Amino acid sequence: MKKVILLFFVYMLLSPFVHGQSTGELEMQFRQLNQALQAEQAALDSLNDLMEIKAKDIAYEKKSALPDQNKIIKWMSHAVTLSHQIKDRQRRIANARSEIEICRSRLEHMYTETIDSLRQLERSGKYIGDIYELRNHLLIWTEKRIFLTPLVSTLSFDPQKVQRTELTDASDPMDRAIIEDYLTNALKEIDAHIQVVTGTRKEFEETADLRRRTSDFINEAHEQGRISSMTRSQAFRNTGTDIFGNPVGQMFTAVQVRSVAGLMQQLNTGTLMSHTNKSLMSAKTAITQEEYIQLLRQAENLLRTYRSIVQKKLK
């Protein structure tokens, strides 16, 4: 029994060193990252609103009887600046989300290890302290883990509700305006997701393409007048890379995969409902860059399909 208690406390003591950060520090970091994300999101919303106003102004001015070209040029220049700012914010949001997911995964791992240790203590039946206090601790840690367990709330609207909603169902103009507003906001959100997913997918695709082409170039160069043929000769494409030229050691674990998979699941398309794909949601799932790109591509297609459904409802 003493051994079990001792092991538990040794684990709790060593845990910060093993993980590099204590649980408290990590929780603090998680909170700060979420706050930063919210701030970034608010800034992005403001920029999107400004952009919308600017676009309307330009369109209005262009349609006027005597359009003021100077004014249009000035506004368009401002719109370009806004567009850059929006892209920059979107990139920052994507990075923040990724960091949050890493942090979330580490916290989840820490909580799980602590819960397992406490459960072991409880089951051993040899715990001499206050068993209720032990169970209380178990409850607190479980609660903390539950807080983390839900997937990233990628969509703020209910996709199923959107699918059921029709403008023709509106009973009066006010009701119609509400439904229209709901669908428009859903569309905006889907567009934002498409931008992030497409941006990430393109970024990784371009990197993979550059790696593949660089590997080809290395092979070609080494075919020319390369005499040495021992370990320095790289018959196997390039040392340190896998079959597809990606560096060995890079795996996209649950942190990145789950946010994309979660988004797909929320869209409720059934794609992720198969037994094999369910493991995508597992915290232990790790996939390669190649598979991650394919997953992003699937998510993008789903979002685009969903977008056309929503858009059709607005017509």
Partner 1 sequence: MYPGLRAGGWEWKAGTEGGYFRTGDEDISGKIKYIGAISGSLRFDHTYDRSSCLFQIRLRPEVYGPQGNNYSINASATGQYQRRWGDFEINAGIASRIQKYQLHSNRLDINTFQLLASANRYFRTRMSIGIDAVYNKVVLMNHTKNRISAWSVIPKANYFLSDFTSMSAGILMESYWAQTKDIILTTRSNRGWRFGPELNFEYSKSWLIRTKYLPSKRFFSSINEAQVEHEINIVFGKKLTTHWSIFMLADYYFSANDSSVQNVVYTQTNYENRIHAKLVYSWKKSYSVFVKMAYTKNELLYEKVTLSGTQASVGIEFQK
Kindly state whether residue 20 participates in binding partner 1, applying the rule CB under 8 A. Answer: no
Kindly state whether residue 247 participates in binding partner 1, applying the rule CB under 8 A. Answer: yes
Binding mask 33-62 for partner 1 (x = CB under 8 A): ------------------------------
Classify residue 43 as exposed, middle or buried by CB count within 10 Å of its CB (0-12, 13-18, 19+). Answer: middle
Could you tell me the CA-to-CA distances from 256 to 37, 213, 272 in Å, in that order?
A: 16, 26, 16
Closest of 73, 53, 147 to residue 108, by C-alpha: 147
Closest of 3, 42, 207, 34 to residue 120, by C-alpha: 3
Helix axes 254-266, 289-314, angle to 10 degrees: 20
Q: Which DSSP string corresponds to 128-193?
A: -S-HHHHHHHHHHHHHHHHHH-SPP---SS-HHHHHH--GGG-SSHHHHHHHHHHHHHHHHHHHHH
Residues in contact with partner 1, total (CB under 8 A)? 57
Choice from 129, 150, 173, 249 touching partner 1 (CB under 8 A) = 249
Kindly state whether residue 100 participates in binding partner 1, applying the rule CB under 8 A. Answer: no
Of 104 and 313, nearer to partner 1 (C-beta) is 104
How many other CB atoms sit within 10 Å of the CB of residue 5? 15
Kindly state whether residue 65 participates in binding partner 1, applying the rule CB under 8 A. Answer: no
Of 67 and 240, nearer to partner 1 (C-beta) is 240
Name residues contacting partner 1, limited to 197-236 (CB under 8 A). 203-204, 206-207, 209-211, 213-214, 216-221, 223-233, 235-236
Of 103 and 303, nearer to partner 1 (C-beta) is 103
Name residues contacting partner 1, limited to 284-313 (CB under 8 A). 284, 286-288, 290-291, 294-295
Run of H or E including 286: strand 286-287
Choice from 205, 242, 269, 307 touching partner 1 (CB under 8 A) = 242
Kindly state whether residue 255 participates in binding partner 1, applying the rule CB under 8 A. Answer: yes
Let me know: does 146 contact 178? Beta carbons within 8 Å.
no
Q: Please report, as ranges, the residues that interact with partner 1 according to CB under 8 A.
A: 98, 102, 105-106, 203-204, 206-207, 209-211, 213-214, 216-221, 223-233, 235-240, 242-244, 247-251, 253, 255, 276-277, 279, 284, 286-288, 290-291, 294-295
